[in-house]
Structure 1
Amino acid sequence: MIVVSSATSNTGSAVADTLLAAGEQVRVLGRSRDRLQRFADRGAEAVEVRTDDPDSLRTAFTGARAAFVMIAPGFIPDSDDFPAHQRRVIDAHRKALAGLGGLTRVVSLSGWAANYDGARGPVWGLRPLEEALDTLTEMEVVHLRPGWFMENTFPMIDEIRATGTAHGLIPADLPLPAIATADIGAVAADLLTGRRTAGTRTLELQGPRDRTLAELTAAVGTAVGRPDARYEQIDAATLRAGLLAAGFSPHMADGTTAMTSDVAEGRIAMTRPRDAETATPTTFEAWLTRVLGTVA
């Protein structure tokens, strides 16, 4: 049995889908039994849990030989103390997994922000998650540190469709290690089943090649019939104001702005060159072709 935590998240669902397609016995965990039903329809065991409840998590992980874990929800727009939420989730998973008989392998979803000691905002908890799981010395633990998710372009796609212009704090010409969550799920599934081994405890995942937001904007514009689409950089104050207008709490608006600034100014970055171990196959153009129907 392989347990997939937060199976209704983008990455969790990619892990579960890959495992089920390979014929693995899978138990999916989530906060809503209804949202887990699509996995149950394919033969998975579905269990409703709270991510900050160590007792229900321990019961859900019991009997597993491998487990995929992450902080979820990874974003709460109206939170007034998101680090407190992250600490609760991290502590609950550490307690739930510690000394669990039969569990030999854990794969966590971390991120490239864990490369930076001073990470701020919603990604603050990634390094603490890794450190908590590293205390589970009786099992093999691998932390995945993927780069910039291609799914981050969903708001850009909507904006380009509507106006022909995308806006963001990250410079238009900054190379980003753009990666599809489906590829992260495939790597995680291979590690969970033992089909793949990681040479290190942390594994960066970088996509097939770096892409700039100028390039991604052009690709989206071509795909949605806006061939003259362009990207305009905004400043931190403008980003924060937009987040507040969208319903973010001041705490989350500040944290999200700080996190984005860390990427924009190069503090969050990959630490090793792209190679056969860190590269994943899906190009942005292939990803875009696949998802455009879901954002119509």
Structure 2
Amino acid sequence: MIVVSSATSDTGSAVAEALLDAGQRVRVLGRSRDRLRRFVDRGAEAAEVRTDDPGGLRDAFADARAAFVMIAPGIIPDSSDFPAHQRRVIAAHQKALTGLHHLTRIVSLSGWAANYDAARGPVWGLRPLEEALDTLTGVEVIHLRPGWFMENALPMIEEVRATGAAHGLIPGDLPLPAIATADIGAVAADLLTGRRRAGTRVLELQGPRDITLNEVTAAIGAAVGRPGARYERIDAATMRDGLLAAGFSPHMADGTTAMTLDVAERRIAMTRPRDDETATPTTFEEFLARVTG
């Protein structure tokens, strides 16, 4: 049995789908059984459990030979203390996974922000999650550190469609290691089943090539009938004001802005060159065709 935590998240669902495609016995975990129905319809078992409930998680992981874990939700817009939520989720998973007799392998979803010791905002908990899982004995632990998710461009698609422009805090000419969530799911599934072996405890995932937001915006414009679409950079205060207007608490607006600044100013970055182990296949153009087609 392979257990997938937070299976209704974008990445968790990609892992579950890849495992089911490979014919594996899968148990999917989530806070809503109704939202897990699509996996049950494909033959998965389902367990309704909160990510910060150590007892429920331990029952759900009890007979697992491999497990995929992550911090979820990855963002709570109205939170006034998001690190406290992350600490509860980390502690619950550490307690639930300790001493499980059948468990041989854990794959965690971390991120390239874990490369930066002083990461801020919603990505603060990635390094502590890794460190907590590394305390487990008798189990192989592999941390995936993907780069910039292509799904981050989804709001840009609607903005370009409506206005012919996209806006953001990251410089338009900054190369980003853009990766599709489906590719992360495929890598995680291969590691969980043993079809792939990781050469190191930490595996960066970088997509097929770096891409800038200028290029992203131009590609979106071509796809949605807005030729000449442009990317315009905003400052940190403007980003924060926009998040507040969208319903973010001051705490989450500050943290999300700080996280984005860490990318924009290259404190969050990859630590190794792209190679056969870190590259994944889906190009941004292929991703864009799938989400706009």
Common fold, TM-score beyond 0.5?
Answer: yes
Task: Name the aligned partner's letter for residue 49 of structure 1.
Answer: V
For the residues of structure 1 that align with 2:69 and 2:159, how far apart are their CA atoms? 33
Q: Distance in 2 between matches of 1:138 and 1:249?
A: 41
CA contact (8 A) 2:99 2:137 kept: no
Aligned amino acid, residue 237 of structure 1: A
Corresponding residue number in structure 2 for 1:216:
216
Deviation at 1:170, TM superposition (A): 0.1
CA shift digits 1:222-271 (9 cap, x unpaired): 00000110000000000000000000000000000000000000000000
1:100-139 map, 5 Å: 100-139=100-139
The equivalent residue for 1:64 is 64
Distance in 2 of aligned mates of 1:173 and 1:154: 19
Q: Secondary structure of 2:6's partner?
A: coil
Q: TM-score, length-normalised on structure 2?
A: 1.00
Aligned-pair CA distance for 1:137: 2.1
Write the distance in 2 (CA, Å) between the matches of 1:171 and 1:201: 32
What's 1:10 paired with? 10
1:34 match: 34
- Which amino acid is the alignment partner of residue 31 of structure 1? R
**Following the alignment from structure 2 to structure 1, what is the Cα–Cα distance between the partners of residues 172 and 75?**
25
Query: What amino acid maps onto 1:241 in structure 2?
Result: D
1:140 lines up with 2:140 in the alignment: yes
Find the aligned partners of 1:290 and 1:10 in 2 and give their Cα distance: 15
Work out the CA distance in 2 between the residues paired with 1:88 and 1:292: 37
Shift of 1:102: 0.4
Q: Secondary structure at the match of 2:145?
A: strand
Alignment partner, residue 181 of structure 2: 181
Q: Residue 80 of structure 1 corresponds to which residue in structure 2?
A: 80
Specify the code of the residue in structure 1 equivalent to 2:22: A
CA distance in 1, matches of 2:245, 2:257: 14
CA positional deviation for 1:292: 1.4
Deviation at 1:276, TM superposition (A): 0.1
Match of 2:19 in 1: 19
The alignment-based identity, stated in percent, is 83
Counterpart for residue 163 of structure 1: 163
Aligned residues: 293
CA distance in 2, matches of 1:124, 1:199: 26
CA RMSD of aligned residues (A): 0.4
**Partner secondary structure for residue 13 of structure 2:** helix
Give structure 1 stretches of 5+ with no counterpart.
none
Distance in 1 (CA, whole Å) between partners of 2:251 and 2:14 is 30
SS at the partner of 1:28? Answer: strand
1:281 has 2:276 as partner: no
CA deviations 1:66-119 (Å, max 9, x no partner) are: 000000001000000000000000000000000011000000000000000000
Gaps spanning 5+ residues in structure 2: where?
none
In 1, the alpha carbon distance for the partners of 2:71 and 2:138 equals 22
Deviations 1:189-234 (CA, angstroms, capped at 9, x unpaired): 0000000010100000000000000000000000000011000000
Which residue matches 1:269? 269
Structure 1 residues 40-65: Cα deviation after superposition (integer angstroms, max 9, x where no partner): 00000011001001000000001110
Q: Secondary structure at the match of 2:131?
A: helix
Matches within 5 A, 1:190-229: 190-229=190-229
- The DSSP-based 3-state class of the residue aligned with 2:142 is strand
CA distance in 2, matches of 1:196, 1:13: 20
- Poorly superposed stretches of 4+, deviation over 2 Å: none
Q: Normalising by structure 1, what TM-score?
A: 0.99
1:215 alignment partner AA: E
